[in-house]
Amino acid sequence: MKSSRAAAPAAAPVAVVILAAGAGTRMKSRLPKVLHPLAGWPMVRHVIENASALRPAPRLVGVVAPGAERVAAAFTPHAVVVQEKPLGTGHAARAALPALAGHRGPVLVVFGDAPLITTATLRRLVTACTRANAAVGVLGFVAADPTPYGRLIQRDGDLEKIVESRDASPAEKQVALCNSGVMCISGALLPELLGAIGNRNAKREFYLTDVVAIARAAGHRTIAVTGDEAEFQGINARAELAAAERALQQRLRAAALDAGVGMQDPESVWLAADTKLAPDVSIGPCVRFGPGVSVGAGSEIKAFCDIEGVRIGRDTIIGPFARIRPDSVVADRVHIGNFVELKATRIGRGAKANHLAYLGDSDIGEASNIGAGTIAVNYDGYGKHRTIIGRDAFVGSNSSLVAPIRIGNGANVTAGSVITEDVPAGALAFGRARQVTKQGRAGELRARLKARAGK
């Protein structure tokens, strides 16, 4: 028996255009606005990653300003086009048309300075447009304070027009649904709709919002889809960047807690967008994760640690007050204690460095022990060199290991040594001046020093 229910329209491939040509003058910075960091990534990368999760085809296209090489590089490996003159959002979207040639599916137009919008919300907009066979769909939100926003005016379930706040009538200003600026436009109609946008306005610019009225005038359907205001927070100034950071951190912390991560004081833990924390990881107060960190199950990150660019294994203890810098790997069941710093260092299973050590450009073997105050002397003023320590080695406190150097399996370096030559496996090594003790001379020395000080 055939079903009487109409088949849902097939989902067409979606393309994405990200507008990132704005000057961002209110940021008062030499850094382009969309490259300002947010949870360890340039803000535009959040938009790219969330849009890329829709698997855009034929492509994702970034629109940048002339000379914005750093912004263009942020879109790699995606296509980039240049908006030669700053003539409005409609003009910017039009610059992307050559890169979308032949695409007839939905085209999402989003902004590079709106990094909090989620993949789920973008997908919901595309799905709604597909099901409604709409030429244009606009994401809207109900604002706590709608005063500065354009309004989405609806009639009979469709979007009739977008009215800027300054142009809205008293009745239109009572409308709660505000314009986010994010649109889904039919790829088949996109050249026609963008080509029809005029610039008869005070700024002589081409506004993307005009496509709603243009599409309706041509007899096409236009719709509004409601989202959460928190996702549509644009960033134009430093205060807004800080607010977005707070919002994103709350989102990242909530996701980590839901995934089984323990945090004693979540508000004081700062995560990067790509931080990977396994279930049963425990995090103390005032911990910062930079980009590129993964932590295995059962590991504990104690208070006041700063960790970036490292893979940490299972059942490992880090901190308190430890710093782990990029390109480091810490294996399972390792102890990295207070005021220990690692940089580009690999530490094997079960090894320990519990106190006051600097281990840069080093390889530490399994079950080895690094004493308090140990320094891997990795820099000679011109280049970096590696220190390689084998399995089950012991390095005594206050030792300096002058790289390049190798310390073999089971070797023992005595406390206070300066080691400048390789130590074979199983050998005992010490490099320090012989102690001299002069009986009864302490009083004489103290008297001389006291007289010199005039006391």
> Which amino acids are annotated catalytic?
355
Task: Give me the residue label for tokens 């041509």.
Answer: 218
User: In angstroms, rounded to a whole number, what is the distance separating the alpha carbons of residues 103 and 339?
Assistant: 56
The tokens describing 231, both together, are: 């996702």
Phi, psi (degrees; rounded to nearest 5) at 341: -120, 135
131, 133, 138, 139 alpha-carbon torsion, rounded to 10°? 0
Task: Check: CB of residue 336 under 8 Å from CB of residue 353.
Answer: yes
Where does residue 23 rank: exposed (0-12), middle (13-18), buried (19+ CB within 10 A)? exposed
Residue 153: strand, helix, or coil: strand
What percent helix, strand, coil does the chain show, rounded to 5? 25, 30, 50
Task: Check: CB of residue 194 under 8 Å from CB of residue 212.
Answer: no
Task: Check: CB of residue 205 under 8 Å from CB of residue 91.
Answer: yes
Phi, psi (degrees; rounded to nearest 5) at 55: 55, 60
Number of Cα atoms under 13 Å in the Cβ half of residue 346: 9
Bridge-based pairing state of the strands 136-142 and 222-227: parallel
Beta carbons within 10 angstroms of residue 77's beta carbon: 6
Rounded to an integer, what is the distance from CA 51 to the centroid of its chain?
A: 15
Task: Check: CB of residue 214 under 8 Å from CB of residue 142.
Answer: no
In 46-135, where do the E strands start and end?
Answer: 60-64, 79-82, 106-111
Q: DSSP character for 13? A: P
